[in-house]
Amino acid sequence: MCGVSGLVWRDPSRPAGLAEVEAMNAAIFHRGPDDGGVHVHGTATLGHRRLSIIDLSEGGHQPMISQDGALAIVFNGEIYNYIELREELKAHGRRFLTASDTEVLLQAFEQWGPDCLHKLNGMWAFVVFDQRTKRLFAARDRFGIKPLHYVFDERRFAFASEAKALLAAFPDLRRADHAMLAHFLPSGAVDDGPETFFKNVFQLEPGRSLTLDVSRWSMSIDRYWHVDPAAFADRWVQGDPVERMRELLDSAVALHMRADVPVGTCLSGGIDSSTLVGLMSRLHPEPIRAFSGLYKGKEYDEEEFVQAVRDHTGCQGYDIRRTPNGDLLDDLATITWHQDMPTAGPGLYTQFNVMEMASRHVKVILDGQGADELFAGYLPYYALRVNDLLASGRKASAAALVLQVMRHHGGAWIAGVQGSSLLDTGRRAWRKFQARRAAASGAALAPSEPPFFHPSLTERVGTARIERQLESHYPDSLSNALCNHVLTQSIPALLHYEDRNSMAYSIEARVPLLDYRIVEFALGLGAEWKIRDSWTKWVLRKAAEPILPAKVAWRRSKMGYPTPAARWIREGRDKDAAHELLFSQRFLERGIVSRDSVQYYWDQHQSGAVDRSWLLYRYITVELWHRHYVDAFLPRTARPAPEPIRRTLEHSSRQAA
């Protein structure tokens, strides 16, 4: 896990971009405090910050140069099957000088070119420059676990792991993309396309590669990984899906535990993280270190399930019970700085603090991202399954599922069901219940609500409005929804949050449930293996059942990263600080949100009638993002960098300001 950066000027007579790449490196020092380097390779200047995980010796130093001197690589990530690939490459006559996965990747690219991507099992964002052909090749892993941002215009191509690095070198990039703000505020959508919140700064999307022909000054982007349900089913879904699920889980977790440093895991008490703890505990002779963010309160408390997993597996548990006391906005400013953007919800606060605690004890942490989107873990997925049953003429099965789910989860989810008089009756009954409850509490339902963002923002966006086209690969709506949530609508954003929160504390986060074999298995698996007998993630539950306590394996409640932000924004000094920021002249004059909207949603939240903490949180992080990136360039790192790095970053900050 590392940070990469680089620059190619269009004008070959221009001096190499050493100062710019050094500024980029300084801005992402947190991604790699163990080592760093800048190398001029032909017309390209490449930079790297290293977090040493595999081969801790100097042999893993980057930028790394090929043995013939023609290629240079900078690489962020891990190639988990590097041992097997090294043996395959040795069979082709290749010899190795280090024990690092970076050298394996470099030689794999020499051997197979871009086709090497199909052989990799891991997470990556890497760039190779060939000074013979004057071509730069970059690639990002299949699902976007590792980031890569770039700017390409008539005078430069620059890239970096984080957008802040580009801004540190090029102050002209500090411009807000209003189309992205208008896209984000009502939806919370981030990382669902190539755009970022900075005008003209883009990200290479997951599963893509990029080629820059310096001589012609042309750039092309190709998609190397594609969804093919039939091929995935033939490749992975053979025999008993539950047994295959177990085999893939065992293999994925074993590969993801490969490291020359201590490895731990997050533990929320849900099925996903608990499965990882169970599998890791079987593979490791010492108790696994498991880190849990915990809060008191019925809607937030997962301690019962966390403790059950600890007792069952013998893991060593660490509780993180951080609650702000007037410093919430200070913490959110740091989180926003590391995220490079406004964020959608307060769960990031809990995750951020879990990573801080984990960094005191381990250097690698495994997390359970991906299972909900792969195996239908969220409540709204029930409605899609019911709709599919109705569309296929299986009305009795649809009605049975509705009754089962309502028995356990109530009826809120039923609003998404379509096309049945029986289900329409259920929806009407649920709405009547909601109306009675609102009347009893004295809460009036507003006939209309003000917009989430200022009307003038739409005018400023104009024809640049962002609209996404979803892919369709399946005959049923549930499978299509899950696929899109993996590719664009959910997983990329969650991975962005996880990468930046973990790297803020120089810790490598790995996600074994997004091993490409598990993803392809899930995308080739029928919906009946995901939702069955009112259970979500049925195949995963069955596979994990032998290694978990029953109360966790067959747990129905779901919290994720529960964070009591609704309470914090209603109480004490954090409420006062939030009010001061949201009603500040500085925020309101940006023309992003009208005062009437802020007042309406603030009053609504403070009354307790409706939880609007998620929207107020977005407003807060939008303003903090503007203050730290657009108004000025004000670094706010979770951990201070050494003095020479700070001086470089402060110098670039003064230039930007």
Give residue 445's pLDDT.
40
pTM of the model: 0.94
- What residues are annotated to the active site? 2
Average pLDDT, integer, range 308-333 = 96
For residues 259 and 339, membership in a common domain is answered with yes
Question: Which of 202, 226, 250 corresponds to the end of one domain?
Answer: 226
On whether both 248 and 178 belong to a single domain, the answer is no
Query: Residue 573 falls within a domain, yes or no?
Result: no
Q: Are residues 234 and 86 in the same domain?
A: no
Residue range(s) defining the domain that contains residue 23 = 2-226
CA atoms within 13 Å, Cβ hemisphere of 310: 17
Give the tokens for residue 296.
Answer: 């008191």
Q: Is residue 325 part of a domain?
A: yes
Report the candidate in 512, 540, 522 with the shortest Cα–Cα distance to residue 233: 522
List pLDDT tens digits, range 44-97: 999 999 999 999 999 999 999 999 999 999 999 999 999 999 999 999 999 999
Looking up residue 146, the CATH number of its domain turns out to be 3.60.20.10
Band (436; pLDDT cuts 50, 70, 90): very low
Assess whether 127 and 253 both reside in one domain: no
pLDDT of residue 442: 42
pLDDT band at 657 (very low <50, low <70, confident <90, very high): low
pLDDT of residue 559 exceeding 70 = no
Residue 389 lies in a domain: no
Token digits of residue 84: 């097997």
Domain assignment of residue 417, yes or no? no
DSSP E strands: which ranges in 242-392?
263-266, 289-293, 316-320, 364-366
Average pLDDT, the chain: 92
193 shares its domain with 337: no
Exposure string over 355-378, b if 16+ CB within 10 A, otherwise e: bbbbbeebbbbbbbbbbbbbbbbb
Query: Is 499 inside a domain boundary?
Result: no
Q: Into how many domains does the chain fold? A: 2
Overall average pLDDT of the 226-231 stretch: 97
Higher-confidence position of 640 and 554: 554
State the Rg of the chain over Cα: 25
Higher pLDDT, 217 or 646: 217
Choice among 34-43, 127-136, 553-562 with the minimum mean pLDDT: 553-562
> Do residues 71 and 204 both lie within one domain?
yes
Residue 429 predicted with pLDDT over 80: no
Which position has the higher pLDDT, 467 or 441? 467
Q: Is 473 in contact with 227 (CB distance < 8 Å)?
A: yes
Q: What is the pLDDT of residue 109?
A: 98
Statement: residue 296 has pLDDT above 90: no
42 plus 158 within the same structural domain: yes
Would you say residue 584 lies in a domain? no
Do 167 and 145 share a structural domain? yes
**Residue 344 confidence class, pLDDT cut points 50, 70, 90:** very high
Q: Which of 503, 525, 553 is the last residue of a domain?
A: 553
Give the CATH number for residue 240.
Answer: 3.40.50.620
Q: Are residues 194 and 316 in the same domain?
A: no
Tell me what the mean pLDDT of segment 340-357 comes to: 95
80-90 pLDDT, tens per residue?
A: 999 999 999 99
What is the helix (H) or strand (E) element at residue 210, kind and residue range?
Answer: strand 208-213
The per-residue pLDDT for 441 is 41
Check residue 437 and give its pLDDT: 45
Q: Are residues 246 and 192 in the same domain?
A: no
Which of 192, 226, 260 corresponds to the end of one domain? 226
Phi (first) and psi of residue 588, to 5 degrees:
-70, -30
Whether residue 281 is contained in a domain is answered as yes
Q: What is the pLDDT of residue 431?
A: 52
Residues of the chain with pLDDT > 70, as a percent, come to 94
Q: Are residues 148 and 263 in the same domain?
A: no
10 lies in the same domain as 51: yes
Confidence check: pLDDT of 502 > 90: yes
Report, as an integer, the average pLDDT of 590-609.
95
Distance, CA of 39 to CA of 51 (rounded, Å):
18
| Residue 643's pLDDT band (cuts 50, 70, 90) | confident
Would you call 165 helix, strand, or coil by DSSP? Answer: helix
Give a yes or no: residue 412 inside a domain.
no
pLDDT of residue 444: 44
What is the pLDDT, as a whole number, of residue 648? 77
Q: Which residue has the higher pLDDT, 516 or 301?
A: 516
